[in-house]
Amino acid sequence: MDLRRKQVNKGEEPIIAIDGPSGVGKTTVARLVADRLGLKAVSTGALYRAVALYLIQTGVNPNNPLALRVALQNVELDQKYEDGRIRTFLNGEDVTDHLDTVEVSDMASRVAAIPEVREFLLDVQRRLAEGGAVVEGRDIGTVVLPEAQVKVFLDASTGERARRRYEQLRAEGINISYEEALKDVKERDIRDSSREVAPLQRARDAVYIDTTHMSAEEVANRILKLVREIVP
């Protein structure tokens, strides 16, 4: 792979794309890398979740194309990276603390399969990446920001991803058993990989990292090493 092909010009901030399946630790790693580089971290999953939250709040059925179109016209999303935290805003309101419930996760994975939603979020994601960012998601290196200077695909065993998700949710005060976390990770894997639009896929020029036996710090250091190779 020729990483130099995408050499960053002097003074230009790089875009780092981190893709991978549910529960692999993309957000944690994105924040670590962003902090070390003085860039912002963008979580695109949180944007899908914010759309899901809006549909739940307004009772819109995402399978009704007209209702969905009208709903999306009324959705304004923003994200800010402050003090090491990614905060997501839905129509001006900080909804970060409402995005991790099982109900929102389920709806997010359903709406992520709808082309209109993906199209709508394309512009939002690109706008948030302007000026350099560490962007995590499922199709960042392939569809959203194919011009990213550094692309990585993080992976880990299903059991390890369920364990990470379980610990993350428990730390946030969400009561979930390990079995529920495992079921959730498996179901979302199937939905994310089998959908027709932008299924989870590794970009051909992404560096594959199996993180099963790595700490988040170790993964971040691997990525920072890659960044140093291409950013002058």
Residues near ligand DC, by CB under 6 A:
22, 44-46, 48-49, 108-109, 112, 137-139, 188, 192
* Closest approach of ligand DC to the CB of residue 47, in Å: 7
* Closest approach of ligand DC to the CB of residue 20, in Å: 9
For the packed helices 26-37 and 216-230, what is the interaxial angle rounded to 10 degrees? 50
Distance CA 206, CA 63 (A): 33
* Closest approach of ligand DC to the CB of residue 52, in Å: 8
Q: 56, 107 in Cβ contact below 8 A?
A: yes
Q: Which is nearer to ligand DC, 112 or 156 (CB)?
A: 112
Q: Which is nearer to ligand DC, 19 or 222 (CB)?
A: 19
Q: 126, 144 in Cβ contact below 8 A?
A: yes
Strand locations in the chain (E): 15-19, 40-43, 77-82, 85-90, 93-94, 133-137, 150-155, 207-210
Sign of CA dihedral 134, 121, 142, 25: positive
* Closest approach of ligand DC to the CB of residue 165, in Å: 9
> Nearest-CB residue to ligand DC?
45
Q: Which is nearer to ligand DC, 139 or 160 (CB)?
A: 139
Q: Which is nearer to ligand DC, 46 or 231 (CB)?
A: 46
Supply φ then ψ for residue 85, to 5 degrees. Answer: -120, 140
Q: Which is nearer to ligand DC, 191 or 222 (CB)?
A: 191
* Closest approach of ligand DC to the CB of residue 120, in Å: 12
Distance CA 10, CA 12 (A): 5
* Closest approach of ligand DC to the CB of residue 49, in Å: 5
Q: Which is nearer to ligand DC, 96 or 231 (CB)?
A: 96
Q: 206, 138 in Cβ contact below 8 A?
A: no
